[in-house]
Amino acid sequence: MKHRPLALLGAMLLSTGLVACSSSGGDSDQDAGGTTVLDVWLMRDSVSETFQKEFEAGFEEAHPDIDVKIQIQEWAGTGEKVTAALASNDAPDVIEVGNTQVAQYAQSGGLTDFSGKVAELGGDSWLKGLAEPGAWEGKQYGIPYYAANRVVIYRTDLFKKAGIDATKIKTREQWLAATEKLNNNGVQGIYLPGQNWYTLAGFIWDEGGDLATRQGDRWKGGLDSPEALRAMEFYKRLQALGKGPKDSDEARPLQTEVMAKGQVAQVIATPGGANVIAQNNPDLKGKLGFFPIPGKTPHTPSAVFTGGSDLVVPSVAAHQEEAYTFVKELTGDAWQKKLALAMSYVPNKTTLASAVASDPGAAAMAVGAANGHATPNTPQWAAVEAKNPIKDYMTAVLTGRDPKSEAANASQSIATTLNSGS
């Protein structure tokens, strides 16, 4: 799933445009020296130019019989591009896709099944929020690549002035108390817009519920479960401690711009938001910190939505063995550590969390990522997000309407959409 922002992100003419630029197939499969040319699509901003060059050089030194050709693709229209590629006879050998997109591509039968390679790739320690959506009907098609998730970005100076130690905020109740204390010190304790549904999803998972569950061959919306209703009640309490709008999300207005104005002590966002805040208000440079979203108990942080990417190999790709070698290297421990440090990402395995210990934002993400989740694993989820009854439900509750009846209506809408593709 594209996580910039963590929302899910064209014409089919691209099937003759981008797909035609693939170097696989025919006599172009090998260069004059007999090495295999491996065509790889990575998405914009998943790697820096410096990291890309370092990886290509290192990989080709270790595998001199493979010549890697990485093409950077744009996130806009990615679904159409990949669908066209999988349906072509000239698909690239490896493609980066959003973690929640894997199901729609696997459903068509267009991806290589890596179920037999999971143990070899270290699958026992993969982040659940990347691994689970990378599987479809019991088979593993997407190999976890990198992750990102939301944390609390906070003003260190305002916390200090209020006498609050952020490192000691471990539970929801402690978080509420600290936010109220900030309010009493003349600032807005938190800016939380009413339709930040990814944050609500984390609270629902934290309570033991889900956005939707599958029962046999049918889906059931989960917003009206007792667990989800408790999560919404907590969201309402937290949102009330700030002045965020009840009828819009974190992009309208951009919450980083709101915090940059100087009167907001906290927002919930990916750590990169701190850079945007400081760019908008240079006076805040060096005054922004991070901590994981607190959970119900001090021992476990809140569940979070895991955004990020998986690597897939088209079933029609010409170089299956070489493609697997590429995937194994890029998702292996050595390059994952380097990627995490270079890009401030969370590595794909829980065992690698210490690799980002020197990066405060990424370190806070890594703590939360250990309790990461993904949206319901079905190709139809994109259609749910297109209408997004979750946002309307949240606004309805925050403006005083009955939570149970509104949750039932939203759950029915989710179920109808998901089951329309059954």
The SS3 assignment for 93 reads coil
Q: Check whether 3 has a pLDDT greater than 50.
A: no
- The tens digit of pLDDT for each residue in 178-214 reads 999 999 999 999 999 999 999 999 999 999 999 999 9
Q: Check whether 7 has a pLDDT greater than 70.
A: no
Q: For residue 68, which of 82, 91, 83, 52 has the smallest C-alpha distance?
A: 52
Q: Check whether 12 has a pLDDT greater than 70.
A: no
pLDDT of residue 31: 55
Q: Which two tokens stand for residue 123?
A: 């699958």
Q: Which two tokens stand for residue 402?
A: 């009955």
| pLDDT band for position 263 (cuts 50, 70, 90) | very high
Q: Check whether 99 has a pLDDT greater than 50.
A: yes
pLDDT of residue 34: 81
Q: For residue 96, which of 117, 61, 70 has the smallest C-alpha distance?
A: 70
Contact present, 305 and 201 (Cβ < 8 Å)? yes
Q: Check whether 26 has a pLDDT greater than 50.
A: no
Q: Check whether 21 has a pLDDT greater than 60.
A: no
pTM of the entire predicted model: 0.88
Q: For residue 302, which of 226, 359, 238 has the smallest C-alpha distance?
A: 238
C-alpha pair distances (Å), 36 with each of 132, 146, 327? 32, 26, 15
Domains of the chain by range and CATH? 14-147+307-369 (3.40.190.10), 151-305+377-419 (3.40.190.10)
- The tens digit of pLDDT for each residue in 369-418 reads 999 999 999 999 999 999 999 999 999 999 999 999 999 999 999 999 99
- The tens digit of pLDDT for each residue in 273-295 reads 999 999 999 999 999 999 999 99
User: What share of the chain has pLDDT > 90, as a percent?
Assistant: 89
Tell me which DSSP letter residue 420 carries.
T
Q: Which two tokens stand for residue 55?
A: 């990886």
| pLDDT band for position 237 (cuts 50, 70, 90) | very high
pLDDT (mean) for 309-313:
98
- The tens digit of pLDDT for each residue in 76-96 reads 888 899 999 999 988 999 999
Q: Counting beta carbons within 10 angstroms of the beta carbon of residue 174, is it exposed (0 to 12), middle (13 to 18) or buried (19 or more)?
A: middle
Mean pLDDT taken over the chain: 92
